[in-house]
Amino acid sequence: MNIVAIIQARMGSTRLPCKTLLSLHGAPVIDWVVHRTRLAKKLHQVVVATSTETNNDPLAYHLHRTGTAVFRGSEQDVLGRFYEAATQAKATHVVRICADNPLIWGPEIDALIEAYLARQEQGCDYAYNHIPRGNEYPDGLGAELVSYALLERLHKEATLPAHREHCLSYIWDNKEQFAMHTFSPADKALHRPDVRLDMDTQEDYRRLATMPLTQAMPPHEIIALYDNWR
């Protein structure tokens, strides 16, 4: 088994340009994502998948300089980029992570992997804990998980531009075809579906930049801080 985390990243966000390299308490946001992802003990590799567009050159340069594996592919065909990155990494299973989740937490990625593997006898195509949909997770602590075989199927079957751009949206738009699974955090202090910890907008960035966060801070401490900074 080779479980590979692929962090989807780019510089060209319209709502928050260059967000992956914005400084968050002295380190680029992408470094937060990579560091906190690597706290997961059940991952075998971590790869950042960005595009070949020249505006992503500074991001790729920074990642190479810091020793982080980088794959570069299509800007528009994100599903294709994701599939090619997984193929190059020889993944058996793929954990999809968005680079706008600087507070993602490795132990919650491990919980996702455990939940997915535990459901194999009953059947599980896709597991997630990155959004509060059917669970009690805050937005931005977790990830999504599929097998490489399913990712290959999606790559072949998904033809609509929206499904190529939004990597695993084909699953959500065809839920009747897939066995989907989610769950709530073991720590009840994390049962906060009202909390958004991702970084999509200038306001999100302002909040995270003013909160006294550290890269090693566990999520229950972050949520306690969040309640005082809303």
User: pLDDT for 201-226, tens place per residue?
Assistant: 999 999 999 999 999 999 999 999 98
Q: Please report, rounded to a whole number, the percentage of residues in the chain having pLDDT higher than 70.
A: 100
Q: Which pLDDT band, with edges at 50, 70 and 90, does 230 fall under? A: low
225/230 Cα distance (integer angstroms):
9
Give me the pLDDT at residue 229, please. Answer: 74
CA separation (Å) from 49 to 115, 137, 149?
Answer: 25, 25, 19
Residue 12: pLDDT above 80? no
Torsions phi, psi of 53, nearest 5?
-60, 145
Strands (DSSP E) contained in the chain are: 3-8, 23-24, 27-28, 45-51, 69-73, 93-98, 126-128, 144-147, 180-181
The mean pLDDT value for 101-105 works out to 97
45/63 Cα distance (integer angstroms):
15
Least confident stretch, 14-18, 102-106, 127-131:
14-18
Q: Are 145 and 126 in contact (CB under 8 A)?
A: yes
Tally of CA atoms within 13 A in the half-sphere of 222 that contains its CB: 25
Which amino acid would we find at residue 4?
V
Residue 42: pLDDT above 90? yes
Tens digits of residue pLDDT in 146-201: 999 999 999 999 999 999 999 999 999 999 999 999 999 999 999 999 999 999 99
Residue 112: pLDDT above 90? yes
Q: Which CATH superfamily is domain 3-229 in?
A: Spore Coat Polysaccharide Biosynthesis Protein SpsA; Chain A (3.90.550.10)
Q: Of 93, 97, 104, whose CA–CA distance to 42 is shortest? A: 93
Q: What rounded mean pLDDT belongs to the chain?
A: 95
The mean pLDDT value for 22-40 works out to 97
- pTM, two decimals, is 0.95
